[in-house]
Structure 1
Amino acid sequence: MDKKTYTITVQNNEKCFNNRADQHLLEGVEKSKSKTVTVGCRGGGCGVCKIRVLAGEFNCKVMSRDHISMEEEAEGIVLACRAYPESDLTIEPAEPAFLKMLKKKQRITE
């Protein structure tokens, strides 16, 4: 197990937390109690922990295309529960698809 620790900076939030290389980013968020990323199933099945990596290197385990499209992944959008840091990172929470749909529905009914 890799014990190397990286600093994860949350853009526009001025919060940072440390994350070991052998733990996914969502686990680091939870351990830091920073509440900067929405927590769901913790296994990639719900898609609510969607983030955008703005800077740094990371490794990602397989993600469901129901939640992350190939285009999104190419833009650095990943599930925090499936992403492992390989350097210091700058991230920002990305809006989960179901919230986007709810907002669209709200605009239509207004």
Structure 2
Amino acid sequence: MQHRVTIVGPDHHFLCSEDRSVLAAMIDCGRTSVAVGCRSGGCGVCRVEILDGHYRTGQMSSAQVSPAERLEGFALACQLFPAGALVLRAAPRRNVASDDAVCDPFERMRRQCAAMAGRAS
């Protein structure tokens, strides 16, 4: 069954089936309302706040969405599956200062090289 997903801010909406993640459905229809990272629930780049609706979630890193935040309606869009119409908004990810939170492997490598160059001088 398909459900309407609305992302407030840019006010984008699209349909998403119950067995597809919100992030995958968003990408499929060409929307860019939520940032895309690892797509496996670890980096927190696609963090959203669910404002209304019914859903289920897959496994998410508790470093990116704590159990308390899950109860408050936060999730990662790559692990968010609609069970009815959803209304969301993009939310800032946690731990953005940590190199471990950088999902882009090239950016992570650039930071590591810069850190090593700084230690060598």
State the TM-score, normalizing by the size of structure 1.
0.83
Q: How far does residue 48 in structure 1 lie from its aligned partner after superposition?
A: 0.5
Ranges in structure 1 where 5+ consecutive residues have no aligned partner = 103-110
Counterpart of 1:36 (choices 23, 28, 33) is 33
Q: Map 1:63-78 onto structure 2 (within 5 A).
A: 63-78=60-75
Counterpart of 1:20 (choices 17, 22, 33) is 17
- What corresponds to 1:106 in structure 2? none
Misfit runs of 4+, over 4 Å: none
Q: How far does residue 79 in structure 1 lie from its aligned partner after superposition?
A: 0.5
Ranges in structure 2 where 5+ consecutive residues have no aligned partner = 99-121
**Residue type of the alignment partner of 1:6:** H
User: Within 2, Cα distance between the matches of 1:65 and 1:15?
Assistant: 28
User: Within 2, Cα distance between the matches of 1:75 and 1:86?
Assistant: 18
CA-based RMSD: 1.4
Count how many residue pairs are aligned between Structure 1 and Structure 2.
98
8 Å CA contact retained: 2:63, 2:94: no
Q: How far does residue 67 in structure 1 lie from its aligned partner after superposition?
A: 0.8
User: Within 2, Cα distance between the matches of 1:98 and 1:28?
Assistant: 26
Say whether 1:85 aligns with 2:93: no
State the TM-score, normalizing by the size of structure 2.
0.76
Q: How far does residue 98 in structure 1 lie from its aligned partner after superposition?
A: 3.9
Identity between Structure 1 and Structure 2 (%) = 30
User: Within 1, Cα distance between the matches of 2:27 and 2:75?
Assistant: 17
DSSP-derived class of the 2:63 partner: coil
